[in-house]
Structure 1
Amino acid sequence: MDRLDDERRPDPAALLQLAARERRGKLTIFLGMAPGVGKTYAMLERANALAANGTDVVVGLAETHGRNETAVLAEGLETLPRVEGARPYGEFDLDAALLRRPQLLIVDELAHTNSPSARHPKRYQDIAELIDAGIDVWTALNIQHVESLSELVGHITGIPVRETVPDVVLKKADEVVLVDLPPAELIERLKAGKVYLPDNAERALDGFFKPATLTALRELSLRRAADRVDDQMVDFLRQGAIEGPWATGERLLVCVGYDDMSERLIRDASRLASGLNARWTVLSLSHPHRLAPHQEAIDRLEATLRQAERFGAEIRRETASDYVKAILRLARRGNFTQIVIGQNRKNAFWRRSLPDALLRQAGEIGVHVVSGQGARAPVRAVRRRTLPEWTLTLGLPVLAVSATTLLGLGLSAIIALQNLSMMYLAAVLLSAMLAGRFSALLASLLSFLAYNFFFIDPTGRLTIAQPEEVLSLAIFVAVALVSGQLAARLRLSMDRTSQRARQAQALLDFARKMSAAFGQDQVLDTMASHLHGALGRPAVVLASDDGGELTLMTAWPPDQNLNDAAMTAARWALEKREAAGFLTGTLPQVSYLFLPVQSGQRVLGVVGLGMRHEDGPVSDAEQRTINALLEQSAIALDRARLTQDSTRASVTRESAKVQSALLSSLSHDLRTPLASITGAVTSLRELGDRMPAAARADLLASIEEEAGRLNRFVTNLFEMTRIEAGIVRAKRDPLDVAMVIKAAVNRALRLHPHLQVDVSVADRMPLATGDQVMLEQVLFNLLDNARKYAGDAPVTIYARREGSDVSIAVTDQGKGIPEGDLERIFEKFYRRAEGDGRQAGTGLGLAIARGLVAAMGGTIKAESPALRRRGTRFIIRLPRAGEESA
């Protein structure tokens, strides 16, 4: 039972597709067989009904074509003003519609071509942006404007269709409303002037609006609407886990080549896929050892593949030596049920055609062969040789045959050679390997003539005395053909290998540069320069600044500037995560092609490539190079961003640690003395003269001591702030170290009378360079620190000369400091465990000491243990007077 329930559960893919549609606007297409069936009228009539029920309906654009009843319906709805442009009646205002954001927007004429200054070249692209913004859109479409049917409709009507809509637009529509009318009734409407003006109506009756033509168009529209209803039924069954009439699951594999029949093949396959409700894939095969086709054929194939994508196909590119095996392998692995292939012309009797071979080996896979009588064959490249190449092609055979002849004559004078013709085969092979097939043929002909003239009796005459010599010419020609073909394949393989090696080396160099780049700015600079070097096109890189605004970060060459239209295309690429600009669906008139740099779900920046209209779109090889470089760039940018985020997080953690330490220090070092002072003052005020004189003296002494602690704490905070701000300016005067030590000890004894300090200063102690007040403060902080952590144990100070420095060491006999904390004790607010039960310090004394010593040009460090595995020694080194400049 559980297994049956599991089999009847909803299709996850269908549910995800449904969830994605819920976040978008809904597209409804009113589909008709021809102009005049009432698409716009039906659309506006339904819109008025919804508006009457409270729906926010706005007319973005409605073409009434002078029909009064249609114009009356449009007057009852809010209408957006059109954009004034090159066309007298204006254009649809996309930005105004996005700003207004109604629940339902009417945008007529789905297949319309926008003005060149518009953001998108086609209106269906405007509608796609509205749908993505969450706005429901109603629009109208005639069946002849569906791209896969446009050629068929042109044959039926005799009128070419210039404006088309990709099939995927109709397939992705949420609703397709068929507006149908019998052909006879439509013709009556045309005669009554309800479709065109009288003059135009007469011409339409003689051309487009014939009963047979309208009947064929009606059939096409009914079939396409039925296909869309079938898709909706399958989606409904999958989403609801309902058993029903599921689709057959057909899959088509369409094989195309460089000939001009491929375009027709794509259209036929699209109609077949639509009729079978099947997914289809277009396969383009190339041979690894054949010469590349002419550029015209390459461009035609690329245009055909782009057209297939608009029809809703998936594109595959493969390289194979055996086309039949490659097609059948892909068909079986991809579970394709049918193969569609074209047959240009009847092949010669000795060569089996590709469709025939597929029919023999396809087995259970169906093969549809589309006849292509009259289609042009693939155009092969004709290599134009330069003068140096012609010199090699013609000169090498002459030189090789001449050298072989001279060598043969010399050897014949010495010994009798029976197989002298084999030497000429070497000349033919040499010419084939170095100069190609034509050179090999020329070498074979010259070899035959030279061999016949110089070595076959009668010599000195071009006569053939023996019939077997005719065979030698045939052998020479055969060897030339074979060796020339091998040489051509070898050269092509070498060229392709060299090209791939250059691409691999370029990617390796780029990866090395990216791995060595530090920081986002350096990564962006490397991206721009390498894209320019690899593609030979100007490159710009844009990224979001701190304010979130897209900004031009770097360019190569550096003099690149982007106008407002280019910046708009760049923002589109960033926000929509798709290509924009040159020859794309968004601002195609811009001279830059903008591509997003993506890493996972994040868009890290935008790359712009300078393009020229005479060069056409980006080639397939360039696109692969661009994709590889952008992937490497995304990894490097992601790494730079992560490093930056990690640094910021580390700074944030350190700031939080400092703030926590500061708050802890303030709460302890301020509250404790304040509590003592408050308690003493309260006792004195309440008891007054009733207290003994000795008790009052103790309370006053306590107040004085705690106030001194507060003063020292505030002073330390002030000194630390001055050090970090760089305000501290130390003097570099000669000073008497013994005198400074004595002053610091006396100051410490006034605060701690029980402190024992032993001072030892070397004889003939030189003067040090520093600031007397700062050095005294440093020594006082060290003595105060020793008192806190070593108690009343003796503290030793000794000073001596060490090379060009003066060294002062302060040693206590406390518990010592672990080796891992010898550097941390100089950090702000770092406090170790309390020593001998006494109050720990503020954690600023040693930090201040290091800052002051550094300001004087000296160093301070800690060593532990110092004496008998106990204690800590702080060593200060200052420059000796007279040695600082040295």
Structure 2
Amino acid sequence: MSDALRADALLDDVPREGRGRLKVFLGAAPGVGKTYAMLQAAQRQKRLGCDLRVGVVETHGRAETEAMLVGLPEQPLIRSEYRGITLAEMDLDGLLAARPRVVLVDELAHSNAPGSRHSKRWQDVLELLEAGIDVYTTVNVQHLESLNDQVRAITGIQVRETVPDWILQEADDILLIDLPPRELLERLREGKVYVPDQARAAIDAFFTQTNLTALRELAMQTAAARVDAELNRRYRLQGQSAPAVRGRLLVGIHGNDAAEGLVRHAARVAERRHLPWSVVYVNTGANRGETELAHLQAAQQLAERLGGEVVELRGERVARTLIDHAYERRATLLLVGRSGARRGLKRLFMRSVAEQLIAAGQGLEVSILDQQRTPSRRVGEARRAADWRTYLLALLATLVATGAALVLSRYLALPNISLVFLAAVLVVAVRSSLGPALACAGLSFLFYDFLFIPPTFTFIVARQEDVLTLLFFLLMAVLAGNLASRQRRQLQSLRQAQAQTTALLDLSRRLSAATDVQAVCAVAVHQLQLLPDIEAVVAMRTKKAEWSFKGGALPDLNDQALAAAEWAWKHGQPAGQGTDTLPGGQWWWLPLSGDGQSLGLLGIQPLAGTQLPPPKRRLITALAQPLAQALGRATLADELEAARLHGQNEELRSALLASVSHDLRTPLTAMRGSIDCLASLGSGMSETDRKELLETTRDEAERLDRYIQNLLDMTRLGHGGLKLIRDWVTPADIVASALQRLQRVLAGLQVTVRIPDRLPLLYVHAALIEQALINVLENAARFSSPGGCVEVEIAADSNRLRFIVRDEGPGIPEAEREKIFDMFYTAARGDRGGPGTGLGLAICQGMIGAHGGRVLVDDGLNDRGASVILELPLSPQPEMEEGLS
């Protein structure tokens, strides 16, 4: 390693005198817990006696985050008026005057209020760091400036508040705060990220499974890049190259028939030695025939199917390019195939790629695989048969140059005439290839000798210096033509590679954001149909062995196209147009497979009955591989989700049986006992005893009916079978009906009802709201002592109406207020509370939630008991007919 690089690393590592340290808590999206983790770290520092202060922290009303703020000293915010709105910002000057050791600054990408010293909060942070104050801060990955366009492409939302990437590069510590998208969505629905109205809007607009998965991947890539850069920097401090932490296997391939065997061998070696591996092809710019390209494409696809990475490099020296890439990737093993036989001077003066690797690959283990190769034609038909038009161009260029030289010979000296012919050679080389350029050089040599070298009109050269002139002219013409044609080949190769890389990158980026099979197919078809003059579709087999076409319009397939699809599916090989199987069809079918199983078929139809050109066919084949991987990932995700749901259903079934077996048996036992007494004693019983037994039987039957009704309601809620039949109803009628139905249950309690005189109408399913209120009232009755108070109140504002039920029971501890809405959870303690399945409040939450409302829990009457609040949104009130009030 050079001394300059080591010096740069040392300078980077020297802490700037008086500058604070920056710790960044990085997350994929709001709600993953960045602020909570930052406050946890602050609490630990405070316990160690560190002088810290909260500059600004946004809790967004989250109780757990607010609890973490307790005990941390806060710097009061500065409030200012802007267009009639009061804005609160961090007091930068106050923090600089106080000079604590650590300052907590939430939301690094925040834009400050107009009139502040800095327009962005990250600029405030830089000033704190320059003052020698350590800063803990939080930021989401979508706010990084370099990812702005990528985030917009993923989410469809333009993020306006951004942070320069160099802020993270200068951070002393970056902590990735991660939360799986499914858990984040659950937190969002539970109101732990935003209030419910904002939560629903956020889920629809930004917080989708697809967006969160893509953002999570970006966050992990950002953190991983930082770790890798830090490792390299640490080794540069010691004047060394960073070693391979785990090692890597690189496989150098060429476009021959031995490439696939080399890839398979590499996969086995990587599996045995537990190494990640890459297949590397070095494009030197040489012209590649169709056979070579086909072998190369097949080997690359095989490598991807076997779990390897495919890399294409560009360079004129194959061995040097492979070694440089191996050092860059910190590879430990380099595997190549044995080169073909070299003859004559080439064998004497040129070393093979394997020999060059052994000579120059210091620190690398170089393995050479000698394979039996099937004999094949060295040059394909396309490479042997030159295009006659390019040679015609060479002839015409020579004739034009000759005419120009004859005219200019009257004014220019003889040596200058050769430049005219050299120009013709360059034009031919740039416009065609090496063969026509050499032909032009040869013809120019002959015309130059015949027309301009004395004696003219003969091929005799009289003067010795003219011989050297001719020889140097021929040498310069050949070299110029060779260099120009090479540059043209490299330019064409770069253009093709750029187009393919762009298409692959765009497809891969969009596929990474798709989470299910339908989304993957839609993205793939959309991207493929951006290519001109083709129609694309993804065909999959259903469980009934029928074709299902996804991602686009239903294609019009004839019998021949269906037969080609059947063959491709059965044999796992391409079929249809341009293949050896049913080539007369209009559709080309490519199998999409992963982990040894068929996932589907990619169907391509050229429009207007044309044939797919080879470059476009190769591009589509390359695009099919990431599609197959994404399809396999989505299929596996669907299967795992189905298995998870099946497991949850089994757990729910077991919990249901365990929970309700006793509660259903108890009323049945009481009813059977009462009936047996009535049957055995008959008329021997007094009227009072008979009436008491009958009332007991009726009460137990009603309780059993409520249990069964709860189970049925919970089943309908869980399977989406609950239908909302809405109508306008007065809230007072719902309360009156619920109290009437629970008259016997509430007997012995002091029930107080508070209903305002004027209340808005509710547009709800009245029976469901009544049932939810009954469940809450029954719950209050079970937990109230005899003679206790139960209060029912209705309150309303401009947007919401609330049914509030308060009691004087034992109350619900803070830790259990969220659990009581779980199925089969009961808060009964000892003998208090009586029997119950634990379904009542869960059903209540489901019924209210189906109407867009929520269920809240608070303290009860006289600082005792609990309050359950059923909150429902109010719809615009209907217009009353004239004469009605």
Higher alpha-carbon Rg? 1
TM-score bucket of the superposed structures, by smaller chain = 0.3 to 0.5
Instruction: Please give the TM-score of this superposition, normalised by the length of structure 2.
Output: 0.47
Instruction: Please give the TM-score of this superposition, normalised by the length of structure 1.
Output: 0.47
